[in-house]
Chains A and B, each alone.
Chain A
């Protein structure tokens, strides 16, 4: 095998140049597509919504500004500018109206604004959409209820189209848009009663073909106008033109075709995360054929892959300032998974796995969100390469453990074959490839807030409002068991209401945002004749996040140990202190913080508390099905939502003050509390049964670079990975950074523009994070000796 040769391939000069120019180009908010979509909707008031959406997509594909940059091998974007923040009217505009002026200056994820856009938006776009968007209709239907429960159960997917989907890229490559349109026509002839459904898919696919032809024509025109000495533009024209009509045959054609799929999906939905998934598997036949025929070298393949990776960084997601706080760094989550096992359980890593790792090592950019699947039979060399690439400090690849993921997915009714072929969407959410709408972020349930209510008779400590059930105060709870009973009652008080809201949201998506293009590339929608938003996919799960293991364990452990077992803290005094945010009782706060054992330190009974509550929470899903007929399941991740969610929670019995962030990640310790090092942390994490985390879990760990500087250090890190596999931990990701880097980056951001860092779950440019998030990362525990 030529793996070792791949590992030392130099970075293609082309990729380095393109990277610099992408990073140098300013980001703008764009109303270009909103203008087109608004026109289509206004001109066609009588079309059924799926055809309206298809027509809007087709018109956008036909009219949006396009651009080819010199030196690009892989072309295509959803706007002419790179990293534009696309305003997408169907899902919701109220926040744009509120925040348009502040986009260039807001603390997180800034975008420049073209002059005249704001006026045009308010005059021609905004008024038309009043009352028509997903956001407006949900506000009308469940706005008050979402507000009433929102501090505990935050309902998501209310103002943007559904993403977090891994479409069937292999099918797209095998058939191309022409082939899928033909398939739709055949099915249409067979099922005339569903003619309109298939019509939408045909329109969308024809729009896609036109889009590719436009790129071919642009390349021809540029060559004619400015010359094409090396024939690169002619090559681009040939590749794009061909795919409009026929499936790709070469590796380069397949990569270009793959990229078009993701551009068009984003144009249709502007959704967070469409994931290519296991590209090392999907693209392998094309790579193999070209290598065998001598048409492609590994260096040539690497160049194409790096060009694709750069493309993944050209589409970003414009979010409201509130949402940007939850998901900082405008991640759009092109998640690529390498390695892992095949459908028969054998090692699936191949040359492309190593080429992807090499590309990441060279570029170190936030996208793709590169994930490595590891399992008991992962080759030593694969693990070593993962460790080395992690050691470069881009926070990637993040690791997913087949030994934990596959059984967890199977427990949700997923077949063994599909489970073994799992991929990752968004940050850490688990999915099957090409046949699932996982709705992985239906809601986030703030268990810590529910515990707060359980200690204060359902009254919010921050506002004094009656928010939850009247279950008595801490002073009324005679035993630790009483606390647990009250806690469970508070969870139940919100649980069913949350599910009802989620159901309304899912139905509204089917009604307002059917997605004909996406429907064409997610199985079994075509066969069923059903849109993906309505339940056309083979698997229809919904994920709800339980927030947050560490805070729950720490708070309940402090109550159990210091209040009820050792009785050194008085219930009434503690209740008073919680109500006063520990003002005037710092000694008590410190005692709770320092004298009660904490999660993530390998203290079995404390970790068991986390397990017990995640288990109880998950069990409650058993009596519900989602609007598409599938099961709900649990995720244990917050990405960066631990900061805003913490702001909703008053003082907690673990010594945390009101409004302070919750633990980051999902499985991580509260910052600085995992004082026994990474092995103890991993032991603790493993005590929360990974079968419960089938929607995805997130564990952040941070190591200083010294560990990765020697071969011996790399070997030790590989050993740590193997232990993580044996401990059946679903996920971990690793920051490798030193403090000085971060402090310097805060002072001189322009010198550190490409410095990337993990913000719980994905990678972002450090210098593009808000100062308080930067500060927090600096404060996180660092492992390894100096």
Chain B
């Protein structure tokens, strides 16, 4: 039985492919981007997740914990994840929902039960399911099986992936999808490695090969201040895409600092200043113009 850790299911996804979609976020990713907006998708296994913003500090969790692994500090509840046995007593005791498991292990059948709930919307709006994460390519067996099950039922399929995988894994996933949405974060291999932990050579090779195999691709670049959002990088990416196939739709994704709260919950440092804002519409237009000047179809 193929299983995966699903850390969120977002219905009425309107920015993750065609039509109205249900987006499943799967844990695990081959990359470690410094700006990752879903850092909870990177931790292994199932953990207790804590949302400071809705916690009322009633301390019911600590009283309920049989392992006595819950303490308090200025950031609210502090969980000793090494001592925690994931028994769920604290979650059960929490009256606000500030504590919850950060993911749920699901079989393909269980995931399908969630996906079919919005079937009427996929049919009327031409949407379907999108696997995201993390990166669904990190759970290739589950992802491919789930996508196939969707396709058998007539539900549209898409993935959002880094494409950092061996050719056969990437091909199998792409073959099960109506659309592959992949990032090119940085065109320079060294900068890519520095920012994500991996070189982009594998990714670019996969993109070129999938395009040649006739996969429907959509490419994206997240605009990250100090990392990806510079003229040279966008030019280089645009040149690369133009060399593969200029008709591949290309999308520039604005910086999203709303994930700051997640880093706080994880007690990790979010590497961006509090006053770092998303780019303005005119700045976005500027980046877009660069890509368009290379003859790309920019969304």
Contact = CB atoms under 8 A, between A and B. Distances in A.
Interface of A: 586-588, 590-591, 594-595, 602, 676-680, 683, 707, 713, 715-716, 718-723, 725-727, 783-786
B96 A785 contact: no
Contacts of A594: 95-97
Contact of A595 (B11, B56, B97): B97
Given A679-B20, A723-B124, A726-B120, A587 B11 contact: no
B12 interface: yes
B189 interface: no
A677 B11 contact: yes
Interface of B: 10-12, 14-15, 19-20, 56, 58, 60, 95-97, 117-118, 120-121, 123-127, 256, 258
B95 A723 contact: no
Contact of B20 (A591, A720, A725, A785): A720
Contacts of A677: 10-12
Contacts of A680: 11, 117
A723 B11 CA distance: 14
Closest 5 CB pairs of A and B: A719-B125, A722-B124, A590-B95, A677-B12, A591-B95
B97 A720 contact: no
Nearest to B114: A602
B20 A719 contact: yes
Contact of B121 (A586, A588, A590, A679): A679
A594 B92 CA distance: 11
Q: Most B CB atoms within 10 A — which of A587, A590, A677, A719? A: A719
A513 to B, nearest CB: 47
A723 B125 contact: yes
A716 B120 contact: no
A587 B60 contact: yes
Nearest to A716: B14
B15 A676 contact: no
Contacts of B20: 679, 716, 719-720, 723
Given A722-B125, A786-B258, 19 more contacts: A587-B60, A590-B56, A590-B96, A595-B95, A676-B11, A678-B12, A679-B11, A716-B20, A719-B124, A719-B125, A719-B126, A720-B20, A720-B124, A720-B125, A721-B124, A723-B121, A723-B123, A723-B124, A726-B123
A683 B117 contact: yes
Contacts of B127: 716, 719
Given A587-B60, A679-B118, A727-B120, A718 B125 contact: yes
Nearest to A590: B95
A680 B114 CA distance: 11
A309 to B, nearest CB: 31
Contacts of B117: 602, 679-680, 683
A784 B10 CA distance: 11
B113 to A, nearest CB: 12
A722 B124 CA distance: 6
Contacts of A676: 11
Nearest to A713: B14
Q: Most B CB atoms within 10 A — which of A594, A676, A716, A727? A: A716
Contact of B125 (A590, A715, A784): A715
Contacts of A679: 11-12, 20, 117-118, 121
Interface residues of chain A: helix, strand, loop or mixed (majority) = helix
Contacts of B14: 707, 713, 716, 784-785
A307 B256 CA distance: 46
A676 B121 CA distance: 14
Contacts of A713: 14
A723 B96 CA distance: 33
A726 B125 CA distance: 12
Contacts of B258: 786
Nearest to B22: A679
Nearest to B98: A594
A719 B97 contact: no
A587 B12 contact: no
A773 B20 CA distance: 32
Q: Most A CB atoms within 10 A — which of B15, B19, B95, B118? A: B95
A80 to B, nearest CB: 48
Nearest to A686: B120
A351 B248 CA distance: 39
A718 B56 CA distance: 41
A702 to B, nearest CB: 13
Contacts of B121: 679, 719-720, 723
Contacts of B95: 587-588, 590-591, 594-595
Contacts of B58: 587
A265 B258 CA distance: 55
A423 B95 CA distance: 47
Q: Most A CB atoms within 10 A — which of B10, B15, B56? A: B15
B92 to A, nearest CB: 8
B90 to A, nearest CB: 13
A319 B95 CA distance: 43
Contacts of A720: 20, 121, 124-125
Contacts of A783: 12
A595 B12 CA distance: 24
16 contacts: A590-B95, A594-B97, A676-B11, A677-B10, A677-B12, A679-B20, A680-B11, A680-B117, A683-B120, A707-B14, A715-B126, A720-B124, A722-B125, A723-B20, A784-B14, A786-B256
A588 B56 CA distance: 13
A719 B56 contact: no
A595 B124 CA distance: 33
A741 B12 CA distance: 24
Q: Most A CB atoms within 10 A — which of B11, B12, B258? A: B12
A64 B299 CA distance: 60
Contacts of A722: 124-125
A719 B60 CA distance: 45
A719 B18 CA distance: 11
Q: Most B CB atoms within 10 A — which of A679, A707, A713? A: A679
A558 to B, nearest CB: 13
B86 to A, nearest CB: 19
A476 B15 CA distance: 52
A732 to B, nearest CB: 14
B177 to A, nearest CB: 19
Contacts of A719: 19-20, 121, 124-127
A716 B19 contact: yes
A683 B119 CA distance: 11
Nearest to A592: B95
Contacts of B10: 677
A587 B10 CA distance: 29
Contact of A716 (B56, B96, B125, B256): B125
B49 to A, nearest CB: 15
A350 B118 CA distance: 33
B258 to A, nearest CB: 7
A723 B126 CA distance: 11
A783 B20 CA distance: 13
A207 B275 CA distance: 69
Contacts of B120: 683, 723, 726-727
A718 B20 CA distance: 10
A727 B121 CA distance: 10
Q: Most B CB atoms within 10 A — which of A590, A683, A784? A: A590
A598 to B, nearest CB: 12
Contacts of B60: 587
A305 to B, nearest CB: 31
A594 B10 CA distance: 19
B11 A726 contact: no
Nearest to A588: B95
Contacts of A718: 125
B16 to A, nearest CB: 9
B157 to A, nearest CB: 17
Contacts of B12: 677-679, 783-784
